[in-house]
A and B are shown apart, each in its own frame.
Chain A
Amino acid sequence: MQDAVMKSMLSEYAGYALQGIMHIIPDKEPKKYLYDLIADYPTRGGKGFRPGLCIATCRAFGGRLDQALNSATALELFHNAFLVHDDVEDVSYVRRNKPTMHQYNNMGIAVNVGDAMNVLSLKPLLKNKEVLGPALAMKIFEEIEHMVAETVEGQAIELGWRKDNVCRLDDADYMRMILKKTCWYTCIHPVRIGAMIGSCGKVAVDKFNRFGYFMGTAFQIQDDILNLVAEENKYGKEIGGDIIEGKRTLMLIHLFKTCNKKELEKLALFLSDTQADGNHEIAAWIMRLMDKYGSIDHCRKVAKYMAGAALKEFCSVFAALPDSKDKKFIEELIVYMINRDY
């Protein structure tokens, strides 16, 4: 499958979810500081991974697009709500090549819009009752409840590390945080929900956990790498932003463990107040340090290991399904996630 074909398919899936989102935004006041802003992030052009995985898995299991549409819409809207809140929590300036919502409005409005997006995400889940029946709709609701709980717990872990300026972390700490913060909602639950719908609730979906976990970890590590090395206009966020925000990425954790004592002390001092004046120079120094100690190369390898493990899991859990465009898409998406430049 060509890059262009993959992008086109992702764009198609994202388009379905965007239509669903636009359909549920209330046409009423207050518009200026609430309902008009809800469509902002979704219309900036998301990658479409989550609705893509949900719809493709559903269809790979024999389901139809219309059956997965509500769940795909909810996943994408929850994702965008997380982004609005994440940007506030991380004090980010740019999202998908535009100013973050709290930058061009204010924090209060951004938080409130994020809240509204979370609430609106429940609507399509309630509509699932009409399309899928009450039993399956309730099962999907439970999936989403777990997904949101894991995501906020993961975010809490990372925010806590930053607040306490934790500099002694290992790979397992990172993987646990990423499992909770990213993997459940980016890969595991979209696949689980898609399989539930496509199989009319007959498939035991726990078997997809490892597949989604490996895939999600590869995705997140690649995202962290891109934050350091990507072209800003393609990536859509400020390059090196994670360092400025003090995010505990796998690269930073590798650096903690490999740099010398003096460098570690300087690093810890910087991380204790990443918003201080002059810290852009120190952030550049950290990037050079990561290069010196091979932190980025190390993480590229880990991302490849994870993608390899995800491919192996794919062969195991999707093998019995007949070949289809959607099944092929899921398989190709694994490698695409770690080769992407945006």
Chain B
Amino acid sequence: MKDSRTSSSNGNKRKPSDKKWFTGIDPNGVMNNAQRILNTAVEVLEEEIAAGILAAKKIEKKVIDVDEVRSGNAEELMSRIRRDTHDAVDIFLDALSVIANYVNGLSETIEKTKKNGVAKEAPNPVSGYQVPTVKNDLPVKAGESMDITIELSNDNEKPMEVSLRKAALVGPDENKIAAKNIIISPQTFTLKPLSKQKVHIAVKVPVICKPGSYSGLFIDNKNTRICTVVVVDVIK
């Protein structure tokens, strides 16, 4: 092997013993390039996992025996569906949580305000806190744009760095509104102690977008508790 590496007894700390591995990389540009490429890669993985969960849920819906549900033997079936749904949320949250370093000691809340959008709260059965959902008040037509405004508040006495990660919105038949069609403003900012900050989410719906409900999870890069599900209803 061209690059031998050392490891500590617990295997946790390692440093390259051979710099040859990095030969040819411009040190000034490497971090930016690497960060950009890895961010792209992680976004792709997240989108695919989310799409897989949605596809699984659709299949689950298809295999529900309606007659059995109506006949009164529904409890076992419903238990199974509840369990599977929780599993799906587990998978989703786990995939998201590994992208961020969990910041302890901060208790933040996310609030939503209504501009063109209306806020709804949805219980999160896994983590014990609520992942809020923001949804456009009126459905938007394919080819048009819409805005949703959320408000973040920092209830702590320490400043809070926020860097929101946007995600593609996944809709019917795995159709997507790509992340590039979404603008978050501001996307990165510092929230002073005991202050609030409005964040605008502008979504341009592609002309070829199929009607239906599109959703995606927007999350802070460092603190997974700062997150919201954005739902956009698209009509013809």
Contact surface of A with B, Cβ cutoff 8 Å: 1-3, 5-6, 146, 171-172, 175-176, 179-180, 204, 206-207, 209-210, 213-214, 217, 297, 300-302, 304-306, 308-309, 311, 315-316, 318-319, 321, 323, 327-328, 331-332, 335-336, 339
Query: Given contacts A171-B37, A207-B98, are A332 and B5 in contact (CB under 8 A)?
Result: yes
How far is B95's CA from A214's CA once the two chains are assembled, in angstroms? 14
* A-B contact list, 16 entries, CB within 8 Å: A171-B37, A175-B44, A176-B47, A206-B90, A207-B94, A210-B98, A300-B24, A302-B37, A304-B22, A305-B37, A309-B38, A309-B41, A316-B98, A323-B10, A331-B7, A332-B5
Q: List the B side residues contacting A176 at CB < 8 Å.
A: 44, 47-48
CB pair B94–A304 under 8 Å, yes or no, is: no
B1-37 residues at the A interface, CB under 8 angstroms? 1-5, 7, 9-14, 21-22, 24-25, 30, 33-34, 37
Asked if B49 is at the interface of the complex by the 8 Å CB criterion, the answer is yes
CB pair B12–A306 under 8 Å, yes or no, is: no
CB pair B49–A209 under 8 Å, yes or no, is: yes
Q: List the A side residues contacting B90 at CB < 8 Å.
A: 204, 206
Query: Given contacts A305-B33, A321-B11, A327-B11, are A335 and B1 in contact (CB under 8 A)?
Result: yes
CB pair A297–B24 under 8 Å, yes or no, is: yes
How far is B1's CA from A283's CA once the two chains are assembled, in angstroms? 32
How far is B3's CA from A316's CA once the two chains are assembled, in angstroms? 20
| Shortest Cβ gap from A312 to chain B (Å) | 10
Query: Given contacts A175-B44, A210-B98, are A339 and B1 in contact (CB under 8 A)?
Result: yes
Asked if B77 is at the interface of the complex by the 8 Å CB criterion, the answer is no
How far is B13's CA from A89's CA once the two chains are assembled, in angstroms? 45
With beta carbons under 8 angstroms apart, the residue of B1, B9, B45, B99 that contacts A1 is B1
CB pair B14–A315 under 8 Å, yes or no, is: yes
With beta carbons under 8 angstroms apart, the residue of A171, A204, A332, A336 that contacts B40 is A171
Q: List the A side residues contacting B30 at CB < 8 Å.
A: 301
Query: Given contacts A319-B10, A331-B7, are A172 and B40 in contact (CB under 8 A)?
Result: yes
Decide if the interface of chain B is mainly helix, strand, loop or mixed: helix
Q: List the B side residues contacting A2 at CB < 8 Å.
A: 1
CB pair A213–B41 under 8 Å, yes or no, is: yes
Q: List the A side residues contacting B10 at CB < 8 Å.
A: 319, 323
How far is B95's CA from A2's CA once the two chains are assembled, in angstroms? 34
Asked if B91 is at the interface of the complex by the 8 Å CB criterion, the answer is yes
How far is B4's CA from A316's CA once the two chains are assembled, in angstroms? 19
Asked if B64 is at the interface of the complex by the 8 Å CB criterion, the answer is no
Q: List the A side residues contacting B108 at CB < 8 Å.
A: none
Q: List the B side residues contacting A332 at CB < 8 Å.
A: 1, 5
How far is B45's CA from A180's CA once the two chains are assembled, in angstroms? 10
Q: List the A side residues contacting B69 at CB < 8 Å.
A: none
Q: A172-B44, A176-B48 are in contact. List 13 more A-B contacts (CB 8 A).
A: A171-B40, A207-B94, A207-B98, A209-B49, A209-B98, A210-B42, A217-B41, A301-B25, A304-B21, A305-B38, A315-B12, A331-B7, A339-B1
Which chain B residue lies CB-closest to A333?
B1
CB pair B5–A335 under 8 Å, yes or no, is: yes
Asked if B43 is at the interface of the complex by the 8 Å CB criterion, the answer is yes
How far is B101's CA from A22's CA once the two chains are assembled, in angstroms? 47
Which chain A residue lies CB-closest to B14?
A315
CB pair B95–A206 under 8 Å, yes or no, is: yes
With beta carbons under 8 angstroms apart, the residue of B33, B45, B47 that contacts A210 is B45
Q: List the B side residues contacting A146 at CB < 8 Å.
A: 52
| Shortest Cβ gap from A119 to chain B (Å) | 23
The 0/1 profile, CB within 8 Å of A marked 1, for residues 74-101 of chain B is 0000000000000000110011001100
With beta carbons under 8 angstroms apart, the residue of B2, B11, B49 that contacts A319 is B11
| Shortest Cβ gap from A10 to chain B (Å) | 12
Q: List the A side residues contacting B3 at CB < 8 Å.
A: 335, 339
Which chain B residue lies CB-closest to A173?
B44
| Shortest Cβ gap from A325 to chain B (Å) | 13
Q: List the A side residues contacting B1 at CB < 8 Å.
A: 1-3, 5-6, 332, 335-336, 339
CB pair B45–A209 under 8 Å, yes or no, is: yes
CB pair B24–A172 under 8 Å, yes or no, is: no
Query: Given contacts A1-B4, A323-B11, A339-B3, are A179 and B22 in contact (CB under 8 A)?
Result: no
How far is B25's CA from A297's CA once the two chains are assembled, in angstroms? 9
Q: List the A side residues contacting B49 at CB < 8 Å.
A: 209
B55-84 residues at the A interface, CB under 8 angstroms? none
